[in-house]
Amino acid sequence: MKINLKLYATLRKYLPNTEIGEAVIIEVKQGSTIKDIIDKFTIEEELAKIIFVNGIHETLDYILQENDLPVIFPPIGGG
Amino acid sequence: MINEIIRINVSEMSYTMEEIPEKYKYLGGRGLTSAIVADEVDPKTDPLGPGNKIVFAPGILSGTSAPSSGRLSVGAKSPMTGGIKEANAGGLTAVRLAKLGIKAVIVEGFPEHKDWYHVLISKDKIEFIKANEHANMGLYELIEKLWKKHPKSGLCGAGIAGQRLLKNAGIFGNNPENTDPGRYAGRGGLGAVLGSKRIIAIITDDTGGERPMPVNEELFNTGRTKMVNALNEHAITGGKAGTDKGALKNYGTNVLQNIINEAGALPTKNFRSGYFEGAKNISGEAVHELVDETNEKFGDKAEGGYGHACHPGCIIRCSNTVPDKNTGKAIVSPLEYESAWALGTNLIIDSLEHVAKLNRICNDIGIDTIDAGNALAVAMEAGKIPWGDGQAAIEFMKKGYDPNDEDGATFMQGANIAAKTWGIDRVAVVKGQALPAYDPRPIRGIGVTYATTTMGADHTAGYTIAPEILGSAGGADPRELNKADLSRAFQSTTAYVDQSGYCLFIAFAILDIAEGMEGLEETVAGFLGKKKYDITTVGNKILKIEREFNKKAGFTKDDDRLPKFFVDEKLPPHDVTFDVTNEELDAVFDKM
Ligand code: SF4
């Protein structure tokens, strides 16, 4: 199935040649989790600190559905 | 070196230096400004009249070797909210004052003359310098002129807006390189209070001063090491600019633009939506990439940057400089998240260049960016500027330079007064002060802080975004409605941090790393020579003093509410309203 993935800040390097905030369509197996995606991109677990799926906070064990939009941020802060 | 309080009396154009009284001995920063304002200013007084005083105080640790501790607190009765106000900033002044042994500068009285003055503070000496030729001058030009005469000095004061007593006037501050007056204690109109005293700039020259030494060096040093380690170790405050580690050093606070957008909580078009398609173009990532590009293209001549310190001794270094893409020259420093949001997203302007130029005009003219952006949104509601038109917004803002332009003057009074003047109902303010860059409908804790803090809508007063969005301290569900305890705890810790002189951004590290939290208390206690200096006890005490002042000024529970549209109107894309009950809001202070 297809999902849309966005990576921000220091994680952008894992999606080279994309614009900031560009959603990239990727093909994953049914039943895949966010953890499976970060493993696929070899992103260290501690760098996938903040995860939204369709705008709602989720965790690494979230099971993806067709057309989901997972968005992953490293640890960030500001104010 | 003694610990002194300096009183500058503008009625008589005189000053006194007194040793700090016993009751203030363990205070600094916000703790000291709020205590002095509460003790000496009648809560009912006219903020721009003879009864008000404006107080400048370095934090307890400012000037010491504690990392990121050089923040300056400025306090007075606020012309914008009518309540007590503390605004704080980096820059050079806090460190300079601290090295001269000065704990606070109080400007009081009311001048009969119509001249403008600077106040020059140096070792054992205060001078009034007549400055009529500097009135109504842009602040970029002013700080350059002042540094020629007083190199390396800390500069802070009132710009054009403050001199005209307009209520969105901030207190500017020069950055360590003196290239920008953008280190603002911006909120609440404190620049107008200084303007009412006919003072433009306070110039602090610390020649001959020395680093303040802790009473208990051992405890201080233990705490200092813990704090340095926590800040360096943590992924948000640590890392290195130009590498793939370190969020603040690489992207600055504006790294929040994309994440708050993805959370559906980025206030867009005067709080009509929580998502802005153009946010990415003005985000911290966009600034980072523009800096890298222009550095490559213009080499030595490039002035853009990130990982910059707003005051000597900051190791977090979240500050940046936005370069012009065609020349590599600096447009503005810093461009903060709140400013990029207020002058960009909330006006649906997505040109980084326009946003940076709008911020530069704010810095030049002497106004707070958050209220300025909200006031521009009101001008767009009123049809005075087309939505999303950055160039038109720049032209509109320039009206502020013309003392005879009514729209310019109205807009510089801040969003609340602009809305009343132009007959617009939709204005996002609490206690007369405009909301910052997080919509409270999807993120309830920050709404509780906006509503209840004595400061008027202010995210820094109790930054629950850290757990609610950024996963700090184990995280908190942003939609959860019972947020009184969370907001109170953050408001209290913040008051303590604002008194210490540390930058609030140490919070990210100390919330996650227990040693860092110990380091906070140990450096403060060690410096003061106390065994303990408990965070919650001291923080709550400051909050109570401020709350009491506001009560006497006439504030009631009805002032601790968000504008009605947040309760009534659903925010897309998640279609949520602000559902926190009034009882929960009242519990913040009732249960303290
Ligand atoms: S973290 Fe940023 S705002 Fe805080 S003191 Fe350092 S440079 Fe200034």
The end-to-end CA distance of chain A, in Å, is 38
Closest residue by Cα to atom 2, ligand 1, is: B318
CA A31 to chain B, closest CA, distance in angstroms equals 24
Mutate to test the interface with B, among A7, A10, A19, A44 (most CBs of B within 10 A): A10
Count structural domains, chain A: 1
Query: Does B258 sit within 8 Å of A8, measured CB to CB?
Result: yes
Complete DSSP assignment for B80-143: TTSSEEEEEE-SSHHHHHHHTTEEEEEEES--SS---EEEEEETTEEEEEE-GGGTT--HHHHH
Residues of chain B with CATH 3.60.9.10: 4-204
Can you tell me whether residue B76 is helix, strand or coil?
strand
pLDDT of the residue at B2: 73
Residues B502-558 have pLDDT tens digits of 999 999 999 999 999 999 999 999 999 999 899 999 999 999 999 999 999 999 999
A79 — pLDDT class (breaks 50, 70, 90) = confident
Residue A21 with chain B: CB contacts under 8 Å? 258, 279-280, 283
CA distance B100 to B123: 6
pLDDT of the residue at B124: 83
What token pair was written down for B535?
């965070």
Query: Does B263 sit within 8 Å of A52, measured CB to CB?
Result: yes
In the predicted model, is pLDDT for residue B97 greater than 70? yes
Query: Does B259 sit within 8 Å of A73, measured CB to CB?
Result: yes
In the predicted model, is pLDDT for residue B244 greater than 90? no
Q: Which CATH fold topology does B248-420 show?
A: 1.10.569
How does the average pLDDT of chain A come out, rounded?
96
Domain annotation covers residue A78: no
Beta strands at B125-130 and B117-122: parallel, antiparallel or unpaired: antiparallel
B267 — pLDDT class (breaks 50, 70, 90) = very high
Can you give the CATH number for the domain in which A55 is found? 3.10.20.30
Regarding the beta carbon of B319 and ligand 1, being less than 6 Å apart is answered yes
Taking CA–CA distances from A9, the nearest residue in chain B reads B285
- Determine the atom of ligand 1 nearest the C-alpha atom of B319: 7
Query: Does A9 sit within 8 Å of B285, measured CB to CB?
Result: yes
Complete DSSP assignment for B108-124: ES--SS---EEEEEETT
DSSP one-letter code for B30: H
* Helix (H) or strand (E) run with residue B307 in it: strand B305-308
Residues B17-52 have pLDDT tens digits of 999 999 999 999 999 999 999 999 999 999 999 999
- B308 bridge partner residues: B319
What is the value of ipTM here, to two decimals? 0.96
pTM: predicted TM-score of the whole model, two decimal places: 0.98
Regarding the beta carbon of B182 and ligand 1, being less than 6 Å apart is answered no
Homologous superfamily of the B4-204 domain (CATH): Aldehyde ferredoxin oxidoreductase, N-terminal domain (3.60.9.10)
Nearest CB to A77: which of B258, B338, B466? B466
Share of chain B above pLDDT 70, in %: 100
pLDDT of the residue at B393: 98
Residues B274-331 have pLDDT tens digits of 999 999 999 999 999 999 999 999 999 999 999 999 999 999 999 999 999 999 999 9
Regarding the beta carbon of B91 and ligand 1, being less than 6 Å apart is answered no
Which residue among B92, B253, B310 has the greatest number of ligand 1 atoms within 8 angstroms of its CB, and so is best to mutate? B310
B434, B369 contact by CB (below 8 A): no
In the predicted model, is pLDDT for residue B375 greater than 60? yes
State whether residue A16 sits within 8 Å of chain B by CB.
no
In the predicted model, is pLDDT for residue B435 greater than 90? yes
Domain annotation covers residue A79: no
Residue B441 with chain A: CB contacts under 8 Å? none
pLDDT of the residue at B419: 98
Closest residue by Cα to atom 4, ligand 1, is: B503
Residues B124-147 have pLDDT tens digits of 899 999 999 999 999 999 999 999
Beta strands at B429-430 and B330-332: parallel, antiparallel or unpaired: unpaired
Residues A33-78 have pLDDT tens digits of 999 999 999 999 999 999 999 999 999 999 999 999 999 999 999 8
State whether residue A2 sits within 8 Å of chain B by CB.
no
Taking CA–CA distances from B446, the nearest residue in chain A reads A79
pLDDT of the residue at B526: 98
- Determine the atom of ligand 1 nearest the C-alpha atom of B309: 7
pLDDT of the residue at B85: 98
In the predicted model, is pLDDT for residue B1 greater than 70? no
| Residues of the domain holding A9 | 2-73
How does the average pLDDT of chain B come out, rounded?
97
CA distances from B512 to A55, B235, B251, B517 (A): 24, 10, 21, 9
Pick from A38, A36, A4, A2: nearest CA to A18: A4
Residues B166-194 have pLDDT tens digits of 999 999 999 999 999 999 999 999 999 99
In the predicted model, is pLDDT for residue B338 greater than 60? yes
Query: Does A6 sit within 8 Å of B247, measured CB to CB?
Result: no
- Determine the atom of ligand 1 nearest the C-alpha atom of B504: 4
For tokens 């992207």, the residue is B251
